[in-house]
A and B are shown apart, each in its own frame.
Chain A
Amino acid sequence: MILVSLITAGYVGLGVRLVDIQVLQHDKHAAHALDNTRRRVIHASRRGDILDIRGTVLATSRIAKTVCADPSLMGSHQRLVARAIAPFLGRDAADLAKRMQRRVYTDAEGRQREDKHVVLARKVLLEDWKGITNALAYIEFGVDVKSLPRKERLNYYNVRRSVFCEKIDSQLRVYPSGNLAAHVTGFVGVRDPEGSSVPVVGLEGKHGIERMLDSQLEGVRGWRETETDRSRDEVVPFRVRDVKPRDGMNVVLTLDANVQYIAEKALEALCTKHTPASACIVVVNPKTGAILALANRPTFDSNKPGDSNAANRRNRVIADVFEPGSTFKIVAVSGALNEGVVRLHDRFHCENGRLYFAGKVLRDHHAYGPLSVREIITKSSNIGTAKVAMKLGAHRLHNYISEMGFGQRSGVALPGEVRGILHPVRNWSKLSISRIPMGHEIAATPLQLVMAMSAMANGGNLMRPLLVDRLVDRDGNVVMQYEPTVVRKVIRDETAQQMVKTLITVVSAEGTARQAWLKNYAVAGKTGTAQKPSKTRRGYEVGKYFSSFIGFLPAENPRLCIGVFVDEPHNGHYGGVVAGPTFKVIAEKSANYLGLEPSIPVKPMSEQKPRVVLR
């Protein structure tokens, strides 16, 4: 009787437990069971490429793996494994073996846990990962594994699978041209999986176009909800949801890799000759505002941005401001011509090189007497420009400076652009009206100066700098086309034509930019040589200059506007001497490459005398 009661009680207990598990705690256990098999796999989208206007790849992506190890499965074979995989990871075997040593750590709940997920290397290419799996499959332990008992055999099997890769692919960003246009393309870094339960390590643009168009380049991640078997392999029929990733768009820039290369080479030669603190070049199409080349020195390699310091990575074309010097004279003179307060043949006395104004002396580099407005620009007279600006008046001068884009961002699609410095008229001193027209007491970025010169070249339209031509999808369909934009009309067509005629004389035997003269093209431009303001005291540094030349060609129908800016050059400091020759090299080569029709008639080869070249 007792036995029957006990058995009955046992069955009743089991029944109660069964109901407890199957009914009362059903949700909890069902979720736990599902958790053991259900997996959510993230598919990274492929980051879009960055191309130049002719399709040359400036940045591309490759699928890569993150290689990890589970030291708990290795036993004492760390060195053996490290020797097998080290060549594929490009790492020292001893270093790897040390990294794969077993370690314990204390978790948040204070429990001791063994580290089973050690990241050995990121961004390992697929072919290298294939090499690693092969190397692990054929690793030699020095014993006949097959003849061992099952348990020991399993240990060796575990060693082979102790190195694995993360389920989520990462990407390796490659810049095939190295440091070519590095400040434009920028670089990427690792995105932190902020607030995400899934450890997704993606790429994030950190600089340049990579940063500005990060969301367009990145694309949209896909995911898959599926189940795995005991060996954690996917059971394909149990896929619940499979959302394909949408790859990022390709960005086509207005840059031309060949013009960029020409500019970079010329800049290198300039830096070798004049050893400046920094230098930069911008080449734009003045009619559209399209940037064809943008180069900086010092520079960096986008493939290894960490190897360079922040100063090398700074895009000085938009992030640095300088007192521009005489290149700024075009603003005051064009404004005065546009307002009709002066005419090109009006003459101003240049006080033989010394003008006392507001208690200070304003000097010219030569003692000039009376000069026409055209000659004031040709010879770059400070006193003459100051007198022209005084006729224009402070308010109208400020208005023209502002209209030409100074003191405001140009809107170029690059991060870190600064406004420059343009003080309101109420803050001007008595001296300002004589100093600002010659490019002092004002700070501008090289890009602002080039865009202002482009406005002179294209008939008076201030263009928005255009760096991105279009966005295209992976199949080559244009998703977004960026059109040239006129910001505003700053001077009349006739004034612009007068300015072009005047600026042509700068690049002549009488002008300050003789070295920028070209045989086949009429060139117009303006030199600039500014002393650098002192950072520690009032006034200017002795022997430190900012030299520049901005010119365009062919003068009558300009296709190229080139600005060369050199900070603290040695072996000469005049803009015409330091920047002029570099302008000439870039202009000649770029015009040849782009097939610009010479504006000065050239004799065909057949009509020229044969040239004997001795080798």
Chain B
Amino acid sequence: MPRNRKKQDSPLSVGLWIRAALLCLLLGGTAMGYVWQKSQIHQLGTEVRKKEVRLELLKGDNERWQQLRAEMRSTQKLYDRVRKLGLGLTMPQPEQVLRLSDLPLDAKELKQSKPGEYRTVTNKPRRERP
């Protein structure tokens, strides 16, 4: 006996529709994620490149300052500068140099000396710390 056509079930059920929609969403989401990830990689790559260029420039600046410092510290420049400024700086003569022995920490003489007074103390070897 033929079935009632009006009561025949639809071949596309709601469940199927939902599954298809989910599949589309999944595929779309994956595609979007892939594109987003690629975009991020590209963006990060660009940033890395920019930072590398910046680092190179900073290194260049650093080297420039180092060279400047080396030039300013060069013996020739220092002597020339002293001469130019007329500071009258010369090396100390041996008679101007006061030589002190390496004072031991526990030198009792040090406590007894008055301010401005120089004393010669015996240089005892330091005791080893425990």
| A-to-B contact residues, CB < 8 Å | 56-57, 60-63, 125-127, 130, 174, 176-178, 180, 233-237, 257-258, 260-261, 520, 589, 591-593, 595, 597-598, 602-605, 608
Contacts and interface: CB of A to CB of B under 8 A. Distances in A.
A234 B49 contact: yes
15 contacts: A56-B70, A56-B73, A62-B63, A62-B64, A63-B56, A63-B60, A126-B57, A174-B70, A236-B45, A257-B74, A261-B76, A261-B79, A592-B92, A595-B97, A604-B98
B46 interface: yes
Q: Which of A57, A236, A592, A603 has the most CB of B within 10 A?
A: A236
Given A174-B67, A235-B45, A605-B95, A56 B74 contact: yes
Give chain B's interface secondary structure class: helix
Nearest to A238: B45
Nearest to A589: B91
Interface in B62-80: 63-64, 66-67, 70-71, 73-76, 79
Interface of B: 41-42, 44-46, 48-49, 56-57, 59-61, 63-64, 66-67, 70-71, 73-76, 79, 91-99
Contacts of A604: 95, 98
Contacts of B59: 63
B60 A62 contact: yes
Contacts of A130: 57
B73 to A, nearest CB: 6
Contacts of A257: 74-75
Contacts of A178: 74, 76
Nearest to B72: A176
A258 B74 CA distance: 9
Contacts of A127: 60, 64
Contacts of B46: 236
Contacts of A591: 94
Given A62-B60, A176-B70, A598-B94, A258 B75 contact: yes
B60 A176 contact: no
Contacts of A235: 42, 45
Nearest to A129: B60
Contacts of B92: 592
A261 B91 CA distance: 14
A176 B94 contact: no
A180 B79 CA distance: 13
A332 to B, nearest CB: 36
Contacts of B48: 236
B67 A60 contact: yes
B49 A236 contact: yes
A61 B63 contact: yes
